Structure 1
Amino acid sequence: MKGSSFSAEVVEPYAEALMAVAQEHNLVDKFGEDVAALLDTLNESEELQQFLGNPIIKAEDKKAVLEQLSGEQIHPYMVNFLKILVDRRRILFLADICRQYQALLRELKQAVLAQVISTVELNDDQKQAVRQKVLSMTNAQDVDIETQIDADLLGGVIIKVGSQVVDASLRGQLRRIGVSLSRST
């Protein structure tokens, strides 16, 4: 069901409603932090995803777990939003709703998402260099960086911003050399 038009019909209105509440109460950035924390939690726990998506588990049990996970870090409005998703049986779309909220937040702040694939975790200086490169490529005011590790690159990075791809990886350079050599023969 994920990736279908039904999913989009569910995800977009909920993300837009969350953004409307955030703007009304001047909580846009706080909700941005909350959805990032929720996404991290969901990505780290396959069990939590299965628990929330299980239709047999009672709504009250799901709400209790979400409240316990939220603690004091997640804003009460966000916790209420999570409970609404449980009541309406839409909690299985939580990750997609969070990602859509982040997209709306980037649009609001005139920011872009740069997906960076590297062989090792980037340090702060390297992230800043990527940020500057992306700012020079786009008309964005800010850059959100999402990193991914891929040991097959051999070295360097691949930066994806929307449909633009900058392949500065060793594997990419070797591929380009190979193509160049094959053309010259």
Structure 2
Amino acid sequence: MKSNIETAEIAQPYAQALMSIAQSQNLAEQFGEDARALLNLLKNSAPLQNLIDNPFIQAERKKAVLTQILGDGANPYLRRFFLLLIDKRRLFFLEAILQQYLVLLRQLNQTVLAEVTSAIPLTEAQQQAVIDKVLAITNAHQVELETKIDRDLIGGLIIKVGSQVIDASLRGQLRRLSLRLT
């Protein structure tokens, strides 16, 4: 079982090392795209997640599978970094390392992450309105949207930027109205 504190303590130096490599080679954005793609793959592939989390699978097997997933087009620095994680028995922390790398990339680019939860998928115009609102609130240069669907909201949306939460959902309005009445 992964402890959040232990995971953060282990992931942070590896993410910083990956960022250092990326910056020295002017590949920070490319590594960011690769990190997002790999995180998406991990999220949607239970067998891959099992391979990474299972300590009984031999390192050579993990290396073979990871090399196959990355393909020939993968950046050699990134490939060597992942193989180093396997050699150091840190592949277990791959997801946390990639997430921390994306945090560092956002800081580098002065980008904020806005987690938007809505009852229905947002249109392009609605997404742009959310981005404009978040830019006005945070004074950031860019906004990265992470959207989720929650049918229980009934309508409206919830925007979370860092520790700040803007609840403009019907469920939230009904809850606030209920609190006022009681």
Question: Shorter chain as normaliser: what TM range?
Answer: over 0.9
Q: 1 CA distance for matches of 2:133 and 2:4? A: 34
Answer with 12-21 or 82-91: which moved more.
82-91
- Secondary structure of 1:157's aligned partner: strand
CA-CA distance at 1:89 after TM superposition:
0.6
CA-CA distance at 1:3 after TM superposition:
3.4
CA-CA distance at 1:72 after TM superposition:
4.4
1:75 is aligned to 75
Q: 1 CA distance for matches of 2:145 and 2:167? A: 16
Q: 2 CA distance for matches of 1:127 and 1:166? A: 15
Answer with 9-18 or 73-82: which moved more.
73-82
2:147 is aligned to 147
Unaligned ranges ≥5, structure 1? none
1:120 is aligned to 120
Q: 1 CA distance for matches of 2:40 and 2:82? A: 16
- Secondary structure of 1:56's aligned partner: coil
Using a 3 Å threshold, how does the CA distance of structure 1 residues 119 and 74 change in structure 2: closer, same or farther? farther
Establish whether residue 27 from structure 1 lines up as the match of residue 27 from structure 2.
yes
Q: 2 CA distance for matches of 1:137 and 1:17? A: 32
Q: Is the 8 A contact 1:49 1:92 kept in 2?
A: no
- Secondary structure of 1:101's aligned partner: helix
**Amino acid in the other structure paired with 1:155:** G
1:13 is aligned to 13
Map 1:1-185 to 2 at 5 A: 1-72=1-72, 74-182=74-182
Q: Is the 8 A contact 1:155 1:169 kept in 2?
A: yes
**Amino acid in the other structure paired with 2:88:** R
CA-CA distance at 1:122 after TM superposition:
2.0
> How big is each residue's C-alpha offset from its partner over 1:100-148, in whole Å with a ceiling of 9 and x where there is no partner?
0000001111111101111222222221111111001102111111111
**Amino acid in the other structure paired with 1:104:** L
Matched-pair identity in %: 54
Q: 2 CA distance for matches of 1:112 and 1:78? A: 25
Question: How many aligned residue pairs are there?
Answer: 182
Answer with 119-128 or 56-65: which moved more.
119-128
Q: 2 CA distance for matches of 1:156 and 1:93? A: 36
Q: 2 CA distance for matches of 1:127 and 1:73? A: 33
CA-CA distance at 1:180 after TM superposition:
2.4
Q: Is the 8 A contact 1:59 1:86 kept in 2?
A: yes
Q: Is the 8 A contact 1:85 1:91 kept in 2?
A: yes
- Secondary structure of 2:67's aligned partner: helix
Q: TM-score, normalised by structure 2?
A: 0.95
Using a 3 Å threshold, how does the CA distance of structure 1 residues 158 and 61 change in structure 2: closer, same or farther? same
